[in-house]
Structure 1
């Protein structure tokens, strides 16, 4: 059964869903951000403000442990962070608490992750650069410290030159255990193949730096442009599951939990899902890590599952006029 959550105004370009607060943030072509609050079976517009001078291309919620805040990426490559504020009975408003310096390159994507008592932010740039920031003060969203910066390549970047990247896809490891190493997967859509393939970056406490521990690409497709990645929650599997969308389809990867002698994690490509007519734009796992949702340029949302034998299949598809099973 389909249910309309909100009717968006003309010019809406992107949106982000806050699962905890049941709120929707919408970025528009005119640079405005709108917040819709869930009310029973529908949503109402609660706030709207001018965040950038030109179109917003991505909005991402900060984890709810740090209040109601959203990061906005503008088409000009800048990133701003906005926090909801209100005192006593005053009208709630949104204030800008950070405008990130781009360093001359466009910001393509941003992703947040709560790790024990700290908040990390990964930012991907149009030159294939990656920066990891850490929040210094849990109560001050404007106090970020640069923890690390590197390029999304395994070998020395001097071998390849500087790429021109159109988009970047980031997904943190969703596990939150104390013994869990901080890690995320990242892939680019660029004109230089070495930057494209999805790589898992892990923070090594002994060296205090981020190192690549796996590459999710076979030799024949290592240069394929990556359009979306998604790391599945793990509820007891002896391996991790990561989905990677390229021009060839959606690849399902199994990644070992323990490093091998060379420090790398074992990888196995177990499925390639085809069904979308055109580019896949976004991937999302359910909370149990059993069902994968994908959407793309064909205007379809498709749900994928594997059977007891590990064979993946399309479970259902959603279009404007209903669900097809």
Structure 2
């Protein structure tokens, strides 16, 4: 029998590996955050090196800040609190974790939060259960407590429309992983809600000329505009003339090509190139490999499926990873 690399505490609600895969953060139902590290470089086993209280309520979501800003995690708790915790080195006591920012609590629950970095500024986008989207910008890269609310809107093409009765069960955000000072900030977002216009995955881009966020593409066909979105994933781009984005609904996983040249209205061309069905149930999470060639998906069927395209651009299931019975 294979030996486990670590054993999580009872009551663990969520986990997140850092960007190098060398640390794991785990959120517990009692509001504590545990950090696991590999103490022996020659071993692949991990042990808990820090454990501290974030809130009295359960931690629902953990996201690591990009590594160039240090060892920092964002924690979302059941009471609607979003906080940032930073590891600092104390001369006498060694590494300690301290609270560096607690965002204003909203009346609705945060469903997802992700960080984006275009080379000049760190941004944070948060999606809420009332359908609102808030984008914060870090004012000083050396001061992780100095964030400013840059924009607030809903995930709709018609920017005039507002939905005050939205009830969202989940949301998924994925930033464009490319980091360039000349590239605009953009991300894809989809909701699982009772309002169809909110649900479909949309690509948002920051318009420098008008200093606002605009929807530049909708990853949805006419026949599936009412489908709830469970997960989105933007692939790394190594030399492709287009972007590659995966969208998971309650029906399937769709693979989309996103063009790079906007039309006169500022919209980007989209093309659905594949429909992947295999889970037979909800897909909760998707991740691309570093090359953007292989997509991993997992859901309520309890397995991880790996997807790839062949030289002809035909997508297929490459492997299935199931837990031992």
Give the alignment's TM-score, normalised by structure 2. 0.95
Q: 1:61 to 1:130 in 2, by over 3 A?
A: same
Q: Which 5+ residue runs of structure 2 have no aligned equivalent?
A: none
- Partner residue, 1:35: 35
Q: 1:37 to 1:250 in 2, by over 3 A?
A: same
* Contact 1:243 1:250 (C-alpha < 8 Å) held by counterparts: yes
- 1:38-80, Cα deviation, whole Å (9 max, x unpaired): 2431111110111121211110001111111101111222211
How do 1:87-236 and structure 2 match up within 5 A?
Answer: 87-156=90-159, 158=161, 160-236=163-239
Of residues 171-180 and 240-249 in structure 1, the stretch that sits farther from structure 2 once superposed is: 171-180
- Partner residue, 1:245: 248
Q: Does 1:78 align with 2:81?
A: yes
How do 1:2-41 and structure 2 match up within 5 A?
Answer: 4-20=4-20, 22-38=22-38, 39=40, 40-41=43-44
- Partner residue, 2:288: 285
CA shift, 1:287, in A, is 0.2
Q: 1:303 to 1:2 in 2, by over 3 A?
A: farther
Of residues 204-213 and 68-77 in structure 1, the stretch that sits farther from structure 2 once superposed is: 68-77
* Contact 1:201 1:212 (C-alpha < 8 Å) held by counterparts: yes
Q: 1:205 to 1:79 in 2, by over 3 A?
A: same
Of residues 85-94 and 205-214 in structure 1, the stretch that sits farther from structure 2 once superposed is: 85-94
* Contact 1:3 1:41 (C-alpha < 8 Å) held by counterparts: no
* Contact 1:284 1:292 (C-alpha < 8 Å) held by counterparts: yes
Structure 1: 4+ residue segments shifted above 4 A: none
CA shift, 1:277, in A, is 3.3
Distance 2:52 2:310 in 1: 46
CA shift, 1:205, in A, is 0.7
- 1:99-148, Cα deviation, whole Å (9 max, x unpaired): 21133221111101122232111111111111111111112111101111
CA shift, 1:88, in A, is 2.0
Q: Does 1:255 align with 2:228?
A: no
Q: Secondary structure at the match of 2:197?
A: helix
- 1:8-38, Cα deviation, whole Å (9 max, x unpaired): 1111111111123610001111211110112
- Partner residue, 2:68: 65
- Partner residue, 2:271: 268
* Contact 2:80 2:107 (C-alpha < 8 Å) held by counterparts: no
Q: 1:219 to 1:2 in 2, by over 3 A?
A: farther
Of residues 201-210 and 71-80 in structure 1, the stretch that sits farther from structure 2 once superposed is: 71-80
* Contact 2:230 2:283 (C-alpha < 8 Å) held by counterparts: yes
Q: Which 5+ residue runs of structure 1 have no aligned equivalent?
A: none
**CA RMSD between the two structures:** 1.7
